Chain A
Amino acid sequence: MEILVPILSAAIRSGTPILYATLGEILTEKAGVLNLGLEGLMLLGAFSGFTVTMVTGNPWVGLAAAFCVGMAVSALHAFLCVTMGANQVVSGLAITMFGTGMSALLGKAYVGETIRGLGILPVPLLAKIPLLGPVLFNHDPLVYLSYVLVGLACWFISSTRWGLTLRAVGENPRAVDAAGLSVVRLRYAYTMVGGGLAALGGAYLSVVYTQMWVEMMTAGRGWIAVALVIFGIWNPLRAALGSYLFGGVGALQLRIQAAGTTIPAPLLLMLPYILTIVVLVGISVRKGKGILLGAPAALGQPFHREERD
Chain B
Amino acid sequence: MESERQRPLVQMLGITKSFASVRANRGIDFDVFAGEVHTLLGENGAGKSTLMNILNGLYQPDAGSIRVKGRECRFSSPREAIAAGIGMVHQHFMLVPVLTVWENLVMGLPGLKAVLPKRDVIRKIGELSDRYGLDVEPEAQVWQLSVGEQQRVEILKMLYRNAEVLVLDEPTSVLTPQEVRRLFDTIRQMTAEGHGVVFISHKLDEVMEISDRITILRSGEVVETLPGRMATREMLAEKMVGRKIVFAVDKAVLNPGDTVLEAEGICALNDRGLPAIRNLSLSIREGEILGIAGIAGNGQKELCEALTGLRPIHFGRVLLRGKDMTGRKPMDFLQAGVSYIPADRKGTGLVGAMNLRENFALKNFWRKPYARGPFLSWESIAGETGRIVERFGVSAPGLGIPVRNLSGGNQQRLMLGRELSGTPDLIVAMQPTWGLDVGATEFVRDQLLRQRERGAAVLLVSEDLEEVLALSDRLAVIHKGEIMGMVEDPRSASEEELGLMMAGIRREPAIEGEKAR
Contact = CB atoms under 8 A, between A and B. Distances in A.
Nearest to B81: A180
* Of listed A178, A288, A297, A308, residue having the most chain B CB within 10 A: A178
B103 interface: yes
Interface stretch (B109-117, B201-209, B394-402, B421-429): B109-117
B94 A175 contact: yes
A64 to B, nearest CB: 26
A159 interface: yes
A177 B81 CA distance: 12
B79 interface: yes
B116 A172 contact: no
Given A161-B113, A290-B272, A308-B19, A178 B96 contact: no
Nearest to B93: A175
B96 A180 contact: no
B95 A175 contact: yes
B58 interface: yes
A181 B99 contact: no
B124 to A, nearest CB: 16
A288 B273 contact: yes
B114 to A, nearest CB: 6
A28 to B, nearest CB: 18
Nearest to A162: B114
Interface in B160-198: none
A177 B107 contact: no
A171 interface: yes
Interface in B105-131: 106-110, 112-116
Given A178-B90, A180-B78, A159 B98 contact: no
Contacts of A174: 92, 94
Nearest to B275: A290
Interface secondary structure of B, over-half rule:
loop
A160 interface: yes
A164 B98 contact: no
B230 interface: no
B115 A160 contact: yes
A116 interface: no
Given A164-B103, A167-B99, A171-B97, A178 B58 contact: yes
Contact of A168 (B59, B99, B115): B99
Interface residues of A, number: 28
The contact size tier of chain B is 35 or more
Nearest to A306: B59
B80 A180 contact: yes
Contacts of B477: none
B393 to A, nearest CB: 25
Contacts of A305: 58
B273 A177 contact: no
Contacts of B274: 290
Contacts of A162: 114
A179 B112 contact: no
A174 B58 CA distance: 10
A174 B104 CA distance: 13
Nearest to A181: B108
Contacts of B269: 290
A22 interface: no
B220 to A, nearest CB: 14
B114 A290 contact: no
A267 B465 CA distance: 65
Contacts of A161: 106, 109, 112-116
B88 interface: yes
Contacts of B272: 290, 292
Nearest to B77: A180
Contacts of A297: 97-98
A155 to B, nearest CB: 9
A180 B106 contact: no
A290 B273 contact: yes
A181 B116 CA distance: 17
A279 interface: no
Contacts of B99: 164, 167-168, 171
A178 B94 contact: yes
A291 B272 CA distance: 8
B487 interface: no
A247 to B, nearest CB: 30
Interface string A292-309: 100001000000011010
A35 interface: no
B98 to A, nearest CB: 6
Given A171-B96, A290-B274, A308-B19, A176 B107 contact: yes
B107 A168 contact: yes
B82 A180 contact: yes
Nearest to A167: B99
B114 A178 contact: no
Given A172-B97, A305-B58, A178 B88 contact: yes
A297 B58 CA distance: 22
A164 B78 contact: no
Interface string B54-93: 0011110000000000000000011110100000101010
Contacts of B94: 172, 174-175, 178-179
Nearest to B157: A179
Nearest to A182: B77
A258 B272 CA distance: 47
A164 B107 contact: yes
Contact of A159 (B19, B90, B106, B115): B115
A101 to B, nearest CB: 35
Interface of B: 19, 56-59, 77-80, 82, 88, 90, 92, 94-99, 103-104, 106-110, 112-116, 269, 272-274
7 contacts: A164-B116, A176-B108, A178-B56, A179-B108, A181-B108, A290-B274, A305-B58
Minimum-distance CB pairs A-B, first 3 = A180-B79, A290-B273, A179-B108
Interface of A: 159-162, 164-165, 167-168, 171-172, 174-181, 287-292, 297, 305-306, 308
Given A171-B99, A176-B107, 9 more contacts: A159-B116, A161-B106, A165-B107, A171-B97, A174-B92, A175-B104, A179-B108, A180-B110, A288-B273
